[in-house]
Structure formats: structure tokens, C-alpha cells
């Protein structure tokens, strides 16, 4: 299909200092959990983005010196020449598709605890490091400042040698020493690098000048700046210092990459921030500079992108997450295939990979991180090699993705779903406050399947084992999901507490199905991800008194990995949800629940009209078990294989269910082996 001419503006080339980007799609630097330890995996992932049409593809933060050691986080590394080959893999992969490669040089200042290098941490003033490591930084003296400038210059020169076209000076996210110098909160110096704003900007200006002098002949020099920390007067704000910093440096860099700080605000989840949410903070920048400006805002709609350009807000559409969810987003717009875009849902599962030091994964894009190690391409999947028909039972994320990908391979696919609606848990959860974007997991797949004549969908079709045998497809995939359990067993209670009567315990499945929930409500969250907090929010918005009880030390403990925990706290506190940490629900009495302190066991009571428990889920695997228990009748019906995937095999995240569905489809008919099913970047000697 031809491109809609309304979107032509997105495909104009834009000059950035000495280089030119072929269009306005710009993959801003983003972490990925691969970094210097998994260079081939990383290079392939970046190369795919270039292939998908991103004109500029950047690294994550790249440490310039061992005094900026982010270990155990897996970031980029450019301490010396030995780090060049790994980075060159990436520039080659990006250049192979005609895109520009950008590198974000990084010194972490008070953010670097230097756990591996054991070097003394450095910052503008003597302060504890930003992590909770029990160490403080040394206030940098003039010698240290000169050294930092030298390290940055050396790294820039190496980056140029490695082929980078855009070289960053990084002052964002409260993660960079340059931002720490800018910040009144972090910088209490009294010399020419502290005090008034001109002085706090001095080091940033010097490093931009150093970098331009060192590499500006061939590489563009970009500045990434947090123009607002969303902290009010204590932080940098777009109205005051953020504005003034840009005004002071206006045309010095070749490009401004601007955002809000910290990372949780910059990569805000969709529950708390809508598409384009940064516009109100960064809109002023273009008025102060003649240089191109890039900004982000989880842009997936080409109309929203065009309005950013036409409205004079941005020159480049920056993206981290939308480029992860769909590396081919630009190409799809360019080729008039808008309805094929796999839109980011804003869940930050990608971030959780980096936060837990493993390769990034994505809810929407199951091939993310698998490009090199499994050879998965986000758009291409090998065609079928046999003519086989497959019945997929259950149209949640696992079943939908399995049917879609099998259909893409050309198989004859039959997808049966018990309910009227498709989507399983994402359809149910998308009705909860703030989670509407979850429905994109369903919508993308339902839309793709609708265009496939070889995939039949049957709604209102709850299949029993007899039905499946009658269907008589040679291959059956069971994707029937999971249900929350009612007996209290989970991480905390290994044995069902005798004081809980399962017939009186509600679960999220009940709440989602519209069960009556008399107040006051106690939500017992032993799940620790987002759902406990969302259920509490929903019930509170329904007008009920709600107490959230968790045995963990913090509410929604795992959401620290998706950067949303602070916002969850704020939301629940503002709604007057009572938060009780370090306690477990042990018994239900008439109008009370009994709690036990997680540390002392001391008992206490709380009023409770309804107990909603999120403890663990049980696979809905009765269909799978009854089919596989009777191999003779399977054979008699012509059924050769029965498999289970997703929550029905082992309840997990939506991302895991999508991945399971995709993996099944990729591997179907390709033979199985006991070998490790993917390649590994084996660490090289000396690259440490
Ligand atoms: P997953 O995350 O693994 O995809 P979900 O729980 O989201 O799992 O989805 C499972 C889907 O399977 C639900 O839509 C459910 O209605 C459907 N389902 C469960 N049992 C059957 C069955 N026997 N026949 C057809 N569909 C079923
Ligand atoms: Fe978007 Fe979620 Fe994928 Fe991250 S994991 S890119 S937030 S869909």
C-alpha cells in the first residue's frame, strides 16, 4: 500500500550537525539488560531497529571510566580500546541498513556505587550514593574535573573510531554526573562549578565544547537533558532552570534530546501517563534553539507524531518503548501499513529486564531479545514445511499469539474460545482503572488474524475433551489460562490457613466478573505485582473502604522493576487506601480478618466485609490433563500431539504467555532437541 501523504513529513531527512538522518524516527538511548556482556545479542537488536526504519539508533548509557561502574546492571562500556570491538558490532549492524548510530557516553557520578571496580565514587559534593549502598562519593576537586573531561574526550574519540555518527553528552535522569552538577540538590560547591546556575552549567558546557572539538568534524554532538524533574522548586523545572540551561547553551550542541527526570517519570507506565505526556514540559525547547529537537512520549500514532512536528514541538519522533514493541513502526507507516503497528502498551516489562540484569523482553514483541540468540525476526517467520492443521484452545494472549504466528507460517489454524470475547486476561484486566492499553495485546492479534483466511476463530466454544476429540485435528494446543486460587496458598502461606474459608474468599477473577463486594474490603496481596494495587484502586473508586495488606516490606514490591511503585503508592495514598505492610491475612471471622505480623507473628484484627486474595494462580489444565491421560482415544481420533502453553502450563506475566505462544508457533514442526535452545554471548577473556 502507498503511504498516506499526510505522513510524508515524517520521512523528510533532517540534518544533525555533520550528519543527516534519513527520516524523523529516532530511537533514543535505552537500557536493555544486554550491554557490554551480550554484544552480539545487542547488535542484532539494534540492527533490526535500523532495518525497521529508525533513522537514528542509539546505545544505552555507556560507561566512560571504571569510576562509573554500573555493575551489576549491564550497561554499555567504553573504558578503553578493548571495549571497541563490541561497540563496533552495533555500528556495523546499524549502518548496514543506512541508519545513523548514536552513543550515550555516561559517567554516573553519585549514581555509581562502583560495586565491581571498587573505585571511589565521584560527585560534585560529598554525599551518599543514590543507591542505598552504604558508601559516599568524594567531592570532585579540580584535578578530578580535569580527569573527567579527559575521560569523556577519550571516550568520544574512541566512539568516533567505532563509527558512531551521533555522540551524546548526557545530563538526564538524575543518573549522570553532569546532571548532578546542574542540580542545586546535588551540588553544594562554592567554587566556579557551584552556586549560581552559570557555574553549575560550566562543566556541561565545557564537556560539550570538548566533545565538539574532538569529534565534531565527523560526528554530531547531542545533549540529552532533563528539562524538568517534576520535583517542584527543589528540582530543575521547565519554567525556571530547565529553561535557562537550554537558553544558555542554545545552539552549542548539534541536537537536543530532552525529557523529564527521573527514569520513572521519563518512562512512565500507561497507567499513569498518556501518549505525548511529556509535551507540556519540553515544548519550550524548540523556541530557544535552531538545532533539531528530539523528545519522547510513547508515540505510536502517526497522527500524534505529525502533530508534534507540525506544531513545532519536535523535529524527531523519539522512541524507546514504541521501537521495542515494534521495531518496524517507521516502515509500517512508510508503507501504508498503519493497522499492522504493534503498539506499546506502556507496561514496562521491558524495563524489568534491565532492572533484573537480564536481556530485555517485551509484552507486545515476543522476538525482542531473541533476534540473535534464537534468530527470531519480528516480521519474518519461516513458512510451514508440512500441511498440518492445528486446534488452539483458548484465545488469551498465549492462544492468540500462537494462532497468529502459526497462521503467518501458513498453517491451517482453528482457534476456539469459551467466551464471547477474545483476549482472556487482557480483556478482563483492560477494564480496570488505567489498564485500557492492555487491550492492545488482543487487538493487534485479532486484527492480524482477521486478515488470514487460514485461521478460523470460534467464539462461545468451551471445548471439553470429547469436543476436542470430535474436532479431530492432528495437533492440539491448550492455552486455557489460569484462575486465582481461594485458599490463601501462595508465597507466604505454604499450607492453606485453616482460618480461611475458600467459599468466602473473593479473588480478582470474581471482582473482574462483577461479583458483589460488600465493604469494608481487605485486599491481601501476596502477588506483589501491579494487580493487587489496581484491584484496591478499583474498589476504592467504587466507594468502598479498602485496606491493602501485604507480607512484603513494601506495597506492590515487584513494581520497583517496572518503575511504577512510587506512582502506585501516591495513587493509593491519595485515594485513602489504607496500606498495611509486613502482615499476612491468616483468618476470617464474622466481620473481621485476623492478621499476623510477618516478623513476630503477633496477631491483630481488622474490620472486613470482603476479603480479596491475590496469592497464587492455578493452571486451568483439566482439559490438557484429561486429553493426555487417555492416549488411546487420542490416537483413535487422529490426534498426534497435545501441548500446553502460557498460563495453563505455568501462570506468569502476559509477556511470558505471548512469548510461549510465539515460541510454540516458531518451533512447531521443526523438531525438538535437548540442546540449549539459544546461542549465548560467551564472555570474552579480558573484556570483563
Ligand atoms: P494466557 O495468558 O495463557 O493466554 P488467559 O487466561 O488469558 O491465558 O486466557 C485463557 C483463555 O482460554 C480464556 O479466554 C478462556 O476463556 C479460554 N478457555 C479456558 N478454557 C477453555 C476451554 N475449555 N475451551 C475454550 N476456551 C477456553
Ligand atoms: Fe511497551 Fe510493555 Fe513492550 Fe515495554 S514491554 S515496549 S512498555 S509493550
Whether 243 maps to a domain, the answer reads: yes
Same structural domain, 399 and 347 = no
* Mean pLDDT for the stretch of residues 377-387: 97
Give the tens place of pLDDT for each residue, 92-125.
999 999 999 999 999 999 999 999 999 999 999 9
| For residue 686, pLDDT beyond 50 | no
* Ligand 2 centroid, distance to 25 Cα (angstroms): 18
Mutate to test the pocket of ligand 1, among 391, 480, 646 (most ligand atoms within 8 A of CB): 480
CA-nearest residue for atom 1, ligand 2, is 344
What pLDDT score does 681 carry? Answer: 80
Whether 370 maps to a domain, the answer reads: no
- Whether 644 is in the pocket of ligand 2, judged by its Cβ within 6 Å, is no
The verdict on whether 7 is a catalytic residue reads no
Same structural domain, 517 and 474 = no
Please report which confidence band the pLDDT of residue 673 belongs to, taking 50, 70 and 90 as the band edges: confident
Q: Residue 647: give its domain's CATH number.
A: 3.40.50.720
* Ligand 1 centroid, distance to 425 Cα (angstroms): 8
Whether 35 maps to a domain, the answer reads: yes
Candidates 288, 292, 266, 285; CA nearest to 277 is 266
612 Cβ contact partners less than 8 Å away, ≥ 6 residues apart: 505, 506, 507, 508, 510, 511, 517, 521, 522, 523, 524, 535, 539
Give the tens place of pLDDT for each residue, 205-248.
999 999 999 999 999 999 999 999 999 999 999 999 999 999 99
Same structural domain, 625 and 612 = no
Same structural domain, 76 and 175 = yes
Please report which confidence band the pLDDT of residue 683 belongs to, taking 50, 70 and 90 as the band edges: low
Give the tens place of pLDDT for each residue, 417-464.
999 999 999 999 999 999 999 999 999 999 999 999 999 999 999 999
Same structural domain, 584 and 646 = no
The verdict on whether 217 is a catalytic residue reads no
Mutate to test the pocket of ligand 2, among 52, 319, 346, 368 (most ligand atoms within 8 A of CB): 346
Q: Residue 87: give its domain's CATH number.
A: 3.20.20.70
Candidates 412, 408, 415, 416; CA nearest to 388 is 412
Same structural domain, 503 and 541 = yes
- Whether 418 is in the pocket of ligand 1, judged by its Cβ within 6 Å, is yes
The verdict on whether 458 is a catalytic residue reads no
Give the tens place of pLDDT for each residue, 17-44.
999 999 999 999 999 999 999 999 999 9
* Ligand 1 centroid, distance to 423 Cα (angstroms): 8
What pLDDT score does 674 carry? Answer: 82
**Which residue in 173, 414, 493, 528 is the catalytic one?**
173
Whether 598 maps to a domain, the answer reads: yes
What grid cell was written down for 297?
512520549
The verdict on whether 266 is a catalytic residue reads yes
Same structural domain, 489 and 475 = no
Candidates 413, 321, 400, 455; CA nearest to 647 is 400
Q: Is 29 helix (H, G, I), strand (E, B) or coil?
A: coil
CA-nearest residue for atom 8, ligand 2, is 344
Same structural domain, 438 and 559 = no
- Whether 425 is in the pocket of ligand 1, judged by its Cβ within 6 Å, is yes
Contact 255, 291 (CB under 8 A): yes
* Ligand 2 centroid, distance to 345 Cα (angstroms): 6
* Mean pLDDT for the stretch of residues 568-580: 98
| For residue 272, pLDDT beyond 70 | yes
- Whether 620 is in the pocket of ligand 1, judged by its Cβ within 6 Å, is yes
- Whether 344 is in the pocket of ligand 2, judged by its Cβ within 6 Å, is yes
- Whether 617 is in the pocket of ligand 1, judged by its Cβ within 6 Å, is no
* Mean pLDDT for the stretch of residues 480-500: 98
For the CA of 645, the nearest atom of ligand 1: 3
What grid cell was written down for 644?
500446553
* Mean pLDDT for the stretch of residues 599-620: 98
- Whether 395 is in the pocket of ligand 1, judged by its Cβ within 6 Å, is yes
Query: Which ligand sits nearest to residue 659's alpha carbon?
Result: 1
| For residue 158, pLDDT beyond 70 | yes
What pLDDT score does 135 carry? Answer: 96
* Ligand 2 centroid, distance to 340 Cα (angstroms): 16
Q: Is 412 helix (H, G, I), strand (E, B) or coil?
A: strand
88 Cβ contact partners less than 8 Å away, ≥ 6 residues apart: 162, 163
Q: Please give the mean pLDDT across all residues of the chain.
A: 96
Please report which confidence band the pLDDT of residue 486 belongs to, taking 50, 70 and 90 as the band edges: very high
| For residue 469, pLDDT beyond 90 | yes
Same structural domain, 121 and 163 = yes
* Ligand 2 centroid, distance to 317 Cα (angstroms): 17
* Ligand 2 centroid, distance to 360 Cα (angstroms): 10
* Mean pLDDT for the stretch of residues 483-488: 98
Same structural domain, 598 and 454 = no
- Whether 102 is in the pocket of ligand 2, judged by its Cβ within 6 Å, is no
- What percent of the chain has a predicted confidence (pLDDT) above 70? 99
Q: Is the peptide bond before 520 cis (omega within 30 degrees of 0)?
A: yes
Mutate to test the pocket of ligand 2, among 271, 329, 361, 364 (most ligand atoms within 8 A of CB): 364
Strands (E), 219-288: 220-228, 255-260
* Ligand 1 centroid, distance to 364 Cα (angstroms): 18
What pLDDT score does 180 carry? Answer: 98
* Ligand 1 centroid, distance to 395 Cα (angstroms): 6
* Mean pLDDT for the stretch of residues 377-386: 97
Give the tens place of pLDDT for each residue, 512-561.
999 999 999 999 999 999 999 999 999 999 999 999 999 999 999 999 99
* Mean pLDDT for the stretch of residues 354-360: 96
Number of structural domains (the chain) is 3
Whether 150 maps to a domain, the answer reads: yes
| For residue 149, pLDDT beyond 70 | yes
Whether 378 maps to a domain, the answer reads: no
Contact 74, 369 (CB under 8 A): no
- Whether 360 is in the pocket of ligand 2, judged by its Cβ within 6 Å, is no
**Which residue in 26, 170, 193, 624 is the catalytic one?**
170
Query: Which ligand sits nearest to residue 391's alpha carbon?
Result: 1
| Structural domain containing residue 495 | 484-618
* Ligand 2 centroid, distance to 347 Cα (angstroms): 5
Same structural domain, 521 and 654 = no
What pLDDT score does 684 carry? Answer: 53
For the CA of 646, the nearest atom of ligand 1: 3
Whether 674 maps to a domain, the answer reads: no
- Whether 325 is in the pocket of ligand 2, judged by its Cβ within 6 Å, is yes
**Which residue in 228, 266, 354, 526 is the catalytic one?**
266
Asked which of 355, 377, 398 is the last residue of a domain, the reply is 355
Whether 631 maps to a domain, the answer reads: yes
Q: Residue 515: give its domain's CATH number.
A: 3.50.50.60
CA-nearest residue for atom 14, ligand 1, is 424
What grid cell was written down for 196?
549560581
For the CA of 368, the nearest atom of ligand 2: 3
Give the tens place of pLDDT for each residue, 276-298.
999 999 999 999 999 999 999 99
393 Cβ contact partners less than 8 Å away, ≥ 6 residues apart: 399, 416, 463, 468, 476, 477, 478, 479, 480, 623
Calculate the alpha carbon distances from 59 to 29, 105, 314 in Å.
Answer: 5, 9, 21
What grid cell was written down for 60?
544505552
What pLDDT score does 687 carry? Answer: 44
Same structural domain, 527 and 663 = no
Amino acid at each position: 500500500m502507498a503511504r498516506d501523504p499526510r505522513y510524508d513529513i515524517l520521512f523528510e531527512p533532517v540534518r544533525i550537525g555533520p550528519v543527516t538522518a534519513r527520516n524523523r524516527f529516532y530511537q533514543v538511548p535505552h537500557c536493555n539488560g544486554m550491554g557490554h556482556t551480550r554484544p552480539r545479542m545487542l547488535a542484532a537488536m539494534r540492527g533490526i531497529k535500523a532495518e525497521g526504519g529508525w533513522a537514528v539508533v542509539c546505545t544505552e548509557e555507556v560507561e566512560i571510566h571504571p569510576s562509573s561502574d554500573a555493575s551489576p546492571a549491564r550497561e554499555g562500556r567504553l573504558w578503553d580500546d578493548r571495549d571497541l570491538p563490541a561497540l563496533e558490532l552495533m555500528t556495523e549492524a546499524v549502518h548496514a541498513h543506512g541508519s545513523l548510530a548514536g552513543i550515550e557516553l555516561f559517567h554516573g557520578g553519585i549514581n555509581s556505587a562502583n560495586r565491581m571496580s571498587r573505585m571511589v565514587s565521584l560527585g560534585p559534593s560529598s554525599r551518599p550514593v543514590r543507591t542505598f549502598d552504604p558508601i559516599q562519593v568524594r567531592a570532585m576537586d579540580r584535578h578530578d574535573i580535569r580527569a573527567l573531561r579527559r575521560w569523556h574526550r577519550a571516550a568520544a574519540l574512541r566512539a568516533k573510531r567505532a563509527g558512531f555518527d551521533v555522540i551524546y553528552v548526557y545530563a538526564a535522569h538524575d543518573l549522570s554526573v553532569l546532571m548532578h552538577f546542574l542540580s542545586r540538590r546535588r551540588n553544594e560547591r562554592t567554587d566556579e562549578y557551584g552556586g549560581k546556575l552559570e557555574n553549575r552549567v560550566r562543566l556541561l558546557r565545557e564537556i560539550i565544547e570538548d566533545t565538539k572539538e574532538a569529534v565534531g568534524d565527523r560526528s554530531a554532538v547531542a545533549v540529552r537533558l532533563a528539562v524538568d524533574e517534576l520535583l517542584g522548586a527543589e528540582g530543575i523545572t521547565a519554567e525556571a532552570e530547565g529553561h535557562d540551561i537550554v537558553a544558555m547553551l542554545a545552539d552549542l550542541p548539534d541536537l537536543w534530546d530532552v525529557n523529564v527526570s527521573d527514569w520513572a517519570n521519563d518512562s512512565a507506565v500507561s497507567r499513569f501517563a498518556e501518549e505525548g505526556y511529556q509535551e507540556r514540559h519540553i515544548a519550550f525547547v524548540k523556541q530557544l534553539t535552531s538545532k533539531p529537537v528530539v523528545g519522547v512520549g510513547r508515540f505510536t500514532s502517526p497522527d500524534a507524531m505529525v502533530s508534534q512536528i507540525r506544531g513545532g514541538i519536535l523535529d524527531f519522533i523519539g522512541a524507546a518503548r514504541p521501537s521495542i514493541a515494534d521495531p518496524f513502526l517507521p516502515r509500517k507507516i512508510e508503507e501504508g501499513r498503519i493497522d499492522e503497528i504493534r503498539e506499546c502498551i506502556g507496561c514496562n516489562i521491558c524495563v524489568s529486564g534491565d532492572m533484573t540484569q537480564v536481556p530485555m523482553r517485551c509484552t507486545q514483541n515476543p522476538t525482542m531479545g531473541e533476534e540473535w540468540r534464537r534468530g527470531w525476526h519480528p516480521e519474518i517467520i519461516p513458512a510451514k514445511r508440512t500441511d498440518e492443521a492445528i486446534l488452539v484452545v483458548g484465545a488469551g494472549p498465549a492462544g492468540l499469539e500462537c494462532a497468529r504466528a502459526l497462521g503467518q507460517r501458513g498453517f491451517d489454524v482453528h482457534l476456539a474460545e469459551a467466551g464471547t470475547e477474545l483476549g482472556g486476561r487482557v480483556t478482563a484486566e483492560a477494564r480496570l482503572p488505567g489498564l485500557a492499553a492492555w487491550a492492545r495485546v488482543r487487538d493487534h492479534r485479532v486484527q492480524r488474524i482477521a486478515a488470514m483466511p487460514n485461521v478460523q476463530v470460534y467464539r462461545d466454544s468451551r471445548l471439553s475433551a470429547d469436543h476436542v476429540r470430535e474436532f479431530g485435528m492432528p495437533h492440539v494446543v491448550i492455552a486455557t489460562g489460569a484462575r486465582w486460587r481461594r485458599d490463601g496458598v501462595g508465597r507466604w502461606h505454604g499450607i492453606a490457613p485453616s482460618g480461611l474459608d475458600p467459599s468466602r474468599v473473593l479473588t480478582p477473577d470474581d471482582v473482574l466478573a462483577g461479583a458483589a463486594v460488600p465493604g469494608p474490603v481487605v485486599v491481601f496481596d501476596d502477588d506483589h505485582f501491579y494487580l493487587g494495587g489496581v484491584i484496591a484502586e478499583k474498589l476504592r473508586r467504587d466507594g468502598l473502604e479498602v485496606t491493602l495488606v501485604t507480607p512484603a516490606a513494601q506495597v506492590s514490591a515487584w513494581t520497583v522493576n517496572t518503575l511504577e511503585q512510587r506512582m502506585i503508592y501516591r495513587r493509593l495514598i491519595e485515594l485513602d487506601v489504607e496500606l498495611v505492610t509486613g502482615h499476612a491475612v491468616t483468618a476470617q471471622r464474622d466481620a473481621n480478618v485476623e492478621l499476623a505480623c510477618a516478623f513476630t507473628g503477633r496477631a491483630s484484627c481488622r474490620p472486613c466485609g470482603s476479603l480479596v486474595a491475590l496469592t497464587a494462580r492455578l493452571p486451568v489444565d483439566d482439559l490438557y490433563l484429561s486429553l493426555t491421560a487417555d492416549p488411546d482415544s487420542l490416537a483413535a481420533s487422529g490426534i498426534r500431539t497435545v501441548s500446553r502453553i502460557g498460563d495453563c502450563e505455568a501462570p506468569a506475566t502476559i509477556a511470558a504467555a505471548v512469548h510461549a505462544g510465539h515460541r510454540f508457533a516458531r518451533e512447531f514442526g521443526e523438531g525438538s532437541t535437548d540442546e540449549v535452545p539459544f546461542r549465548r554471548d560467551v564472555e570474552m577473556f579480558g573484556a570483563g
